[in-house]
Amino acid sequence: MSERVVQHLEGMTDEIIERLRAYVACASVSADPAFAAGMASAREFLMNRFAKVGLENLQLLDGGGHPAIYGDWLHAPGKPTLLVYGHYDVQPPDPLDQWQTPPFELTRKGDRLYGRGASDNKGSSTIAIESLAAFLAVEGEFPLNLKVLFEGEEEIGAPSLPKIFDQSGDLLKADLVLSADGGRMGFWPALNVGCRGIIKLELTLETSARDLHSGRYGGTTHNALQDMARLLASLHDNEGRILVEGMLDPSILPTSAQRAEVAELGLDEDAFFATFDGMAHGDPAYTAHERLVLLPTVEINGIWGGYTGPGSKTIIPSAAHAKITARLVSGQDPDAIAQAIKRHLEAACPKGARLVVKTYGGGAPAYTLPKDNPLLIAADRILRRETGKAPVRVRHGGTLPVTSIFREKLGADTLMFGFGLPADGVHAPNESYAIESIREGLRCWPMLISEIGAIVAEEKPAAGASPRAAAGA
């Protein structure tokens, strides 16, 4: 029955892009309190859209941080419940001077749309919202119960989402989770079956009580920036192998089966590196694609310290700062790895420097979707039908902390069904989204909803499926 929905959507691309423009205009940067108004306007935009779609029971769920938005359609008694997930927050637009168009004005150039969030996640979640709207408009109903949860803290590690589940666990109860977040590697047919975890650390190094004149003190004492450079350089060897003890335990190294799966995807490394004018770096015993999805990382996200203004200031800086994130693979515990990095840094800290390492923003373990997940089976079927080929299973190098939270709090697994591409440049200046990605998404999402409806119709009703009661209505 999804054909009619897809046809309904086919002529609507321009109209949908206009709505995406209004959504991108909400400058919803969760990391920076200066963007509170943009966060509020993004919530208002979604509340209005969800109401137009025909969702009910709309409400904000406040866990003490940026509230999440909830809505539902629970008119399929006895059927399982599908939770559709997205996030309305975006990464900071910095560095502003590198944007060629205003970050919060969606700008079309050729076959792409430019703006912060154009891809991650406003573009991909627009596909989800429009698909739901068209489905209900054309079919009058969904083939199973449906809930939406759009959070506002994905880009900062979803710190208050667990609390939202603790407060509203019954309301959010679901059997399956379909995520509008998560990208694809650029090849069809492929299905995301897992992602890496993450931890975040902030380092402060202090070597003196105040900045010192580099002439009157230079040569006698520690320079916080020099010490920070040594400290950060100690994390990797020359080829980019991680040197943190306990981070490359043999138990987490890729199996030959995993490596074969990745090899099957046949990433064109030259083309991959050409998209960002970069070069391969990392353990040469593995391919770039293996390093991307099967191995952990330690990346420096930011460093600051000393004088960074125009001209010179001849000082020995007293303090240096750095932000670090590490991506984790299956079998790595976020807390244990954070401790391992902390131990490494403390051991490598030059004597005479005072180091503080703090974790922040919440960690998340890596995630793997079980092979028998109904959404995975449904997605496999529609991609075979669409492309005539068996989709390959791919893991994702990024992190969707919510997948772990959904498994822990709902006991439900998550299919990532986002349509971002590597060329989108998410998190960077000039983020963009291919208009073709919108078109593809608007075909696949209705088909997937239809297909999961068919699958659940074949199966026994989910245990305790009483959606009205679950919704607390």
CB-nearer residue toward a copy of itself: 12 or 288: 288
Q: How far apart are CA 89 and CA 150, in angstroms?
A: 9
In the complex, the smallest distance separating the C-beta of residue 223 from a copy of itself, rounded to whole angstroms, is: 6
Q: How far apart are CA 238 and CA 51, in angstroms?
A: 55
Q: How far apart are CA 162 and CA 183, in angstroms?
A: 24
Residue from 16, 127, 128, 315 touching a copy of itself (CB under 8 A): that is 315
Q: At 347, list the tokens.
A: 């051991």
Going by the DSSP 8-state scheme, the letter that residue 242 receives in this structure is B
- Amino acid occupying residue 190: A
In the complex, the smallest distance separating the C-beta of residue 358 from a copy of itself, rounded to whole angstroms, is: 12
Q: How far apart are CA 409 and CA 135, in angstroms?
A: 28
Could you tell me which stretch among 40-48, 55-63, 94-102, 243-251 binds a copy of itself (CB under 8 A)?
94-102
Q: Is 299 a binder of a copy of itself (CB under 8 A)?
A: yes
Q: Is 251 a binder of a copy of itself (CB under 8 A)?
A: no
In the complex, the smallest distance separating the C-beta of residue 292 from a copy of itself, rounded to whole angstroms, is: 5
Residue 38: how many other CB atoms lie within 10 Å: 20
CB-nearer residue toward a copy of itself: 325 or 373: 325
Q: Is 232 a binder of a copy of itself (CB under 8 A)?
A: yes
Interface of this chain with a copy of itself, residues 188 to 227, rule: CB under 8 A: 195-196, 198, 200, 207-223, 225-226
Q: How far apart are CA 216 and CA 230, in angstroms?
A: 24
Residue from 82, 228, 355, 369 touching a copy of itself (CB under 8 A): that is 228
Task: State whether residue 211 is helix, strand or coil.
Answer: coil
Q: Is 321 a binder of a copy of itself (CB under 8 A)?
A: yes
Interface of this chain with a copy of itself, residues 267 to 296, rule: CB under 8 A: 272-273, 276-282, 288-289, 291-292, 295-296
CB-nearer residue toward a copy of itself: 131 or 223: 223
By CB atoms closer than 10 A (0-12, 13-18, 19+), residue 280 is: middle
Q: Is 297 a binder of a copy of itself (CB under 8 A)?
A: yes
Residue from 43, 327, 395, 443 touching a copy of itself (CB under 8 A): that is 327
Q: Is 396 a binder of a copy of itself (CB under 8 A)?
A: yes
CB-nearer residue toward a copy of itself: 255 or 308: 308
Distance of CA 319 to the CA centre of its chain: 32
- Amino acid occupying residue 184: R
Contacts of 424 (CB under 8 A, 6+ apart): 118, 119, 120, 183, 431, 432, 433, 434
Question: What is the x/- site pattern for a copy of itself, positions 34-63, by CB under 8 A?
Answer: ------------------------------
- Amino acid occupying residue 159: P
The DSSP element (H or E) to which 110 belongs, if any, is none
Residue 301: how many other CB atoms lie within 10 Å: 12
Residue from 33, 110, 388, 464 touching a copy of itself (CB under 8 A): that is 33
Q: How many chain residues touch a copy of itself (CB under 8 A)?
A: 104
Residue 225: how many other CB atoms lie within 10 Å: 21
Q: How far apart are CA 162 and CA 165, in angstroms?
A: 5
CB-nearer residue toward a copy of itself: 71 or 317: 317
Q: Is 460 a binder of a copy of itself (CB under 8 A)?
A: no
Q: Is 91 a binder of a copy of itself (CB under 8 A)?
A: yes
Q: At 158, list the tokens.
A: 């979803």
In the complex, the smallest distance separating the C-beta of residue 169 from a copy of itself, rounded to whole angstroms, is: 27
- Amino acid occupying residue 86: G
Q: Is 464 a binder of a copy of itself (CB under 8 A)?
A: no
In the complex, the smallest distance separating the C-beta of residue 199 from a copy of itself, rounded to whole angstroms, is: 10
Residue from 132, 316, 337, 378 touching a copy of itself (CB under 8 A): that is 316
Q: Is 87 a binder of a copy of itself (CB under 8 A)?
A: no
Residue from 190, 253, 303, 455 touching a copy of itself (CB under 8 A): that is 303
CB-nearer residue toward a copy of itself: 188 or 273: 273
Interface of this chain with a copy of itself, residues 134 to 173, rule: CB under 8 A: 155-157
CB-nearer residue toward a copy of itself: 126 or 297: 297
Interface of this chain with a copy of itself, residues 427 to 446, rule: CB under 8 A: 427-430
| Residue 352 vs residues 205, 206, 219, 318: alpha-carbon distances, Å | 10, 9, 14, 12
In the complex, the smallest distance separating the C-beta of residue 214 from a copy of itself, rounded to whole angstroms, is: 5
Task: State whether residue 226 is helix, strand or coil.
Answer: helix
Contact at 8 Å (CB) between 147 and 72?
yes
Distance of CA 3 to the CA centre of its chain: 30
